Chain A
């Protein structure tokens, strides 16, 4: 079946450091890929998405590129802020059937001043 694997956390960084959170997927067909973020005490929010190979999703300074050849969708940000501290989930959605999301286990990011 479909699955998503992302790096375990926590990832601890100082403010203004470069962030990479790795995500790889296994899927039949050509899924859409997503990064969701969960800030402390809040619900899941869509951060960015990409629907086909070589698409780059971007939002709030975060970027991720859909790499079909490596089945990856790594999340990057050039300069993190304390306010980016949250749990980040990589997810895929099949483009057939009933569109349920398959999530990775989540990566907690802690950014210190």
Chain B
């Protein structure tokens, strides 16, 4: 079956511009996670969705970062006024549900963001 998909796979943007990154989770997965993989910081958690709500936003690095999820499915991560330190690979993962701990997180291929 289809896995987690992310688009675009690569994005180059100029400093100060806004970007939107998209994640399509596995069908039926209610839990969705965003992570960021950067050279200096490794792999960091950004935000967690259960359904359309985000009970854990603790990893968002600044108020320039926001995310939403609609229809319990697609999620969009938006970065406003991008900075060079936002350059990273943004990973999305989904799991059947997020509270019991029984279910594996499946990762997408990531979006590589480069801010010039």
- Cβ-based interface call for A77 (8 A): no
A98-B48 in contact (CB<8A): yes
Please state if B43 and A100 are interface contacts (CB–CB under 8 Å). no
Q: Which residues of chain B are within 8 angstroms of A99 by Cβ–Cβ distance? A: 31, 48, 95, 98-99, 101
Which of these, A89, A91, A100, contacts B48 with CB under 8 Å? Answer: A100
**Chain B residues with a Cβ closer than 8 Å to the other chain, count:** 26
Q: What is the interface size of chain A, counting residues whose CB is below 8 A from a CB of the partner?
A: 23
If over half of B's interface residues share one DSSP class (helix, strand or loop), that class is named, otherwise mixed; here it is strand
* Pairwise interchain contact B105-A43, C-beta atoms closer than 8 A: no
Binds A, one of B13-21, B64-72, B106-114: B106-114
- B residues lining the A interface (CB < 8 Å): 3-4, 31, 33, 35, 42-45, 48, 50, 55-56, 59, 91, 93, 95, 98-99, 101, 104-105, 107-110
Which 3 A-B pairs give the minimum distances between C-beta atoms?
Answer: A103-B43, A44-B107, A105-B42
Given contacts A99-B101, A105-B42, 6 further A-B contacts (CB under 8 A): A98-B55, A101-B33, A101-B93, A103-B35, A103-B42, A103-B43
